[in-house]
Amino acid sequence: MPTRKKYIKKSKKHLSKKNLQKSKKVRRSKTAGVVGTPLKPIDASQKKRLGNNDLKVNLNIWNNLSFWNASVMMVDIYRGEEISDNKYIDLMYTHPESSVRRNNRIAWTKRIIDAGWIKKDGFRAFMGGSSTNFPKMKGKSHGTITLEEITKKIQEHREELTRWMIAKEKSIVAEEPEKKSAEEPEKKSEEPEKKSAEESAEEPEKETTFVGLNEVNDWEDL
């Protein structure tokens, strides 16, 4: 299983500009006729909750997606695993078979709508007091949005989260020696006091011996 640092490096490579540009080329050629349509509910359960109209974005939606995106990134990276849903993005853009691209497009769309508009379950990952000062997603505060636009925002946010996690890890590593050196003088100053207290407690009291007159052999000794 790869370590967290190795995987962070790997995730940066996966989200590189070169790969994003490659995805854009594939989008134009292999998903023509579907790309660019506004995001809308994808299955019966979503349509029941949200209707069958184009979905609108606002600040709350971006906040929901920020927490969901951060929870996906942090959970998967700390486990040393691949980012679990990147496979949908890769396959919907790059697979040679149109049926596979379509199925993964549907799965990815459903995942985004559940996260931003319905379940909003990204918040659960931070209920135990985890830090929430990570970078948040930003976008237009009204109107519709396409799957391609929102996917790009999610990928850019993941790049930003990766940089933030690397910087955070570096700061933690840098703080550890300083904390250690600050604690050492305190321990040293406590040791002599502790030692002297222990020694005084262990030392027995000295007995005073008096010489009696009947024990004196030579009076001149008195």
What DSSP string describes 130-144? ----S------SSSB
Residue 34 lies in a domain: yes
Strand, helix or coil at 46?
helix
Q: Tell me the mean pLDDT in the region 29-54.
A: 79
Residue range 48-81, pLDDT digits in tens: 999 999 999 999 999 999 999 998 887 766 665 6
179 falls within a domain: no
Number of domains in the chain: 1
Q: Look at 18-32, 54-68, 107-121, 188-202 and tell me which has the smallest mean pLDDT.
A: 18-32
Residue 9 belongs to some domain of the structure: yes
Does some domain include residue 159? yes
Alpha helices per DSSP H over the chain? 4-14, 17-30, 44-50, 59-78, 86-94, 98-113, 147-202
In a domain, 220, yes or no: no
Record the tokens describing residue 192, joined without a space. Answer: 């002599």
Confidence of residue 92 (pLDDT cuts 50, 70, 90): very high
Residue 85 has pLDDT above 60, yes or no: yes
d(CA 35, CA 30): 10
| Structural domain for 134, as ranges | 4-173
Q: Is the CB of residue 39 less than 8 Å from the CB of residue 55?
A: yes
Pairwise CA distance, residues 93 & 98, whole Å = 10
Query: Is pLDDT of 213 > 90?
Result: no
In whole angstroms, give the CA distance from residue 20 to residue 94: 11
Q: What is the mean pLDDT of the chain?
A: 75
Supply φ then ψ for residue 38, to 5 degrees. Answer: -60, 145
Query: Is pLDDT larger for residue 44 or for residue 76?
Result: 44
In a domain, 60, yes or no: yes
- At residue 137, the pLDDT reads 94
- Residues 6 or more apart whose CB falls under 8 angstroms from that of 56 comprise 142, 143, 144
Domain for residue 94, yes or no? yes
Is residue 146 classed as helix, strand or coil in its secondary structure? strand
144, β-bridge pairs: 56
> 205 lies in a domain?
no
CA-based end-to-end distance of the chain: 89
